[in-house]
Amino acid sequence: MVLISLTASHRELDLDALERLSTGSQSVGRTVVSTCRPVQGAVVISTCNRFELYLDVDAPLVGDSVHHATRHVADLVAASSGVTPQAAAASFTVRTGPEVSEHLFTVAAGLDSMVVGEREIAGQVKRSLAESRADGTTSKTLELLFQTASRTSKQVGHHTRLGGAGRSLVALGLDLAGEVLRPYPAARAVIIGTGAYAGAAVAALRARGCSDVRVYSGSGRAADFAASHGVGAVGTDSEALVEALADADLVVSCSGARGRRGAADPGAEVSIEYVLDAAAVARARERAAARVQDEPEPDALVILDLALHRDVDPRVADVEGVLLYDLSTLKANAPATASADVDHARTIVAEATSRFEETRLGRAADAAVVALLDEAERQVAAEVAVAVARLTSELAPATPTEDDHDAIARDVRRRVHAGLHDRIVAARAVALAEARAAEAAVVAGAEQSLLAVHPVD
């Protein structure tokens, strides 16, 4: 089995390209497992700043299966996102073997995020595995990989200051908004969406003293979310949203509804307009202006769009009195991180990677150890037989007792096993090295396979 990952993130692509590439990401994992025989499992991570696909490939000692899987994935991503196969191929960074685990552990620890050290990605990695389980596309190796990633993230959070810094996209957005808003205890906020980011936004707003929080969801889930989080709910119709915006100082939009696929037919694209368009915001601002009466103008409305697929129409930024902060804005304002904390976190990741790879490739090493133990037992049996025969000859006409047999066996086993530990350590090291070399031979050239099949003009 060979691990492969195809990753695209804010580090390699601009957010517009990443948005196009990840359209339809929900169905890619299911499709690749059902249509590509060598792929035994797939897990997809699709967040506001990355799209990654992890594959467990049953590959023989030639790399054709690996190459076929990577080519097939590029074609599927192209078909689901509407980009060309060449563009899809060029967008991905392909990793194999130990690079896969090292990258995922780095991602789960928040070291590859826009805001280095942010903790939300750990939950997203965990949910990606849960979604793969629900779809029936995971595998034993991918289960071990992702569970180890979650444990590694917890270690980084526990052993470095990154875990206690409150670093996240939501926190960064609220910090930027707070520079122009009235003080948070007096601010009125509307959250669009009911997912993980919405929950994080409620918690972050409360931490800043904001108690006037309402939630809107076009899908009708706002009431349940509001009840479970102790906030207010906005009606599901567009007019109710406009009315809420007219009274708001801050909007945090994180529904990700735009660009979703229909549940009934994963292959059919549902045409969904912006969750928040410029016309709705303009009407809300007109109502806000009418309500201030003698005051020169209402306070500014700050809108944070945290959705990769843009909940908010970019033209909203042209509406008078509105400040729109999207992911590009947040990326440009991401804070620096203390190098000592990052270095410590990367050490934790490196150690976890080494342990995981030894476990993953340990089957070959275990077989070598078992072979040594079997050889030792055969040697013990042979030497015990010779010693018993010698004692029988010496005691004739009497015969050795059972205690004599046990004493001889203990003495021989102790002597044979005395030098076995060093041999086991050496054999395991050799077997691991051979397993790594064999895997390297399988995946040799896989990094170039996508571009080789779909050359970029």
pLDDT of residue 345: 92
Give the per-residue pLDDT at 215: 96
Of residues 212, 213, 249, 215, the one with CA closest to residue 235: 215
* Alpha carbons within 13 A on the beta-carbon side of 92: 34
Spatial separation of the C-alpha atoms in residues 164 and 348, rounded to whole Å: 17
Helix axes 64-81, 446-453, angle to 10 degrees: 50
Identify the bridge partners of residue 46 per DSSP, sorted by sequence position.
51
pLDDT of the residue at 367: 67
Q: What is the pLDDT of residue 447?
A: 45
Catalytic residue flag (residue 210): no
Q: Which of 69, 41, 5 is nearest to 132 (CA)?
A: 41
| Contact by Cβ (8 Å): 278, 318 | yes
| Residue ranges per structural domain of the chain | 2-163, 169-332, 363-441
Going by CATH, does the domain composed of 2-163 fall within 3.40.50.2000?
A: no
| Cα 449 from Cα 59, distance rounded (Å) | 15
CB burial class (10 A; 0-12, 13-18, 19+) of residue 389?
exposed
pTM of the predicted model, to two decimals?
Answer: 0.64
How high is the pLDDT of residue 84? 80
Give the sheet arrangement for strand 301-305, strand by strand: 232-233, 212-216, 188-192, 250-253, 301-305, 322-325
Q: Which of 2, 17, 9, 18 is nearest to 69 (CA)?
A: 2
Amino acid identity at 402: E
Both structure tokens of 245: 């915006």
Token pair recorded at residue 219: 């899908």
How far apart, in whole angstroms, are the C-alpha atoms of residue 23 and residue 28?
Answer: 10
- Of 36, 48, 210, 254, catalytic: 48
| SS3 call for 337 | coil
CA separation for the pair 162, 58 (Å, rounded): 37
| pLDDT score of 150 | 95
3-class secondary-structure state, position 352: helix
Q: Are strands 50-57 and 2-9 parallel, antiparallel or unpaired?
A: antiparallel
Q: For position 119, what pLDDT does the model report?
A: 77
pLDDT in tens, the chain (457 residues): 567 788 877 665 656 667 677 766 667 888 888 888 888 899 999 876 788 899 998 765 455 666 677 778 888 888 877 778 777 777 788 888 788 999 999 999 988 887 787 878 888 899 999 999 999 999 999 999 999 999 999 999 888 887 655 567 888 899 999 999 999 999 999 999 888 778 889 999 999 999 999 999 988 889 999 999 999 999 888 899 999 999 999 999 988 665 443 333 334 444 457 889 999 999 999 998 888 766 666 788 999 998 877 889 999 999 999 999 998 888 888 777 667 888 999 999 999 998 898 787 766 566 667 777 888 888 889 999 999 899 898 888 888 898 888 899 899 888 888 878 777 777 767 766 766 666 655 555 544 444 454 454 4
Q: Can you tell me the distance from the alpha carbon of 50 to that of 44, in angstroms, rounded to the nearest whole number?
A: 10
| Closest CA relative to residue 327, chosen from 71, 104, 67, 50 | 50
From CA 111, how far away is CA 129, in angstroms rounded? Answer: 19
Domain at 169-332, CATH from 3.40.50.720, 3.30.420.40, 3.30.1600.10, 3.40.47.10: 3.40.50.720
**Three-state SS string across 251-270, please?**
EEECCCCCCCECCCCCCCEC
Strand locations in 132-208, DSSP E? 188-192
**pLDDT given for residue 149 in this prediction:** 95
Give the pLDDT of residue 169: 82
Backbone angles phi, psi at 312, to 5 degrees: -105, 130
Q: What is the pLDDT of residue 374?
A: 83
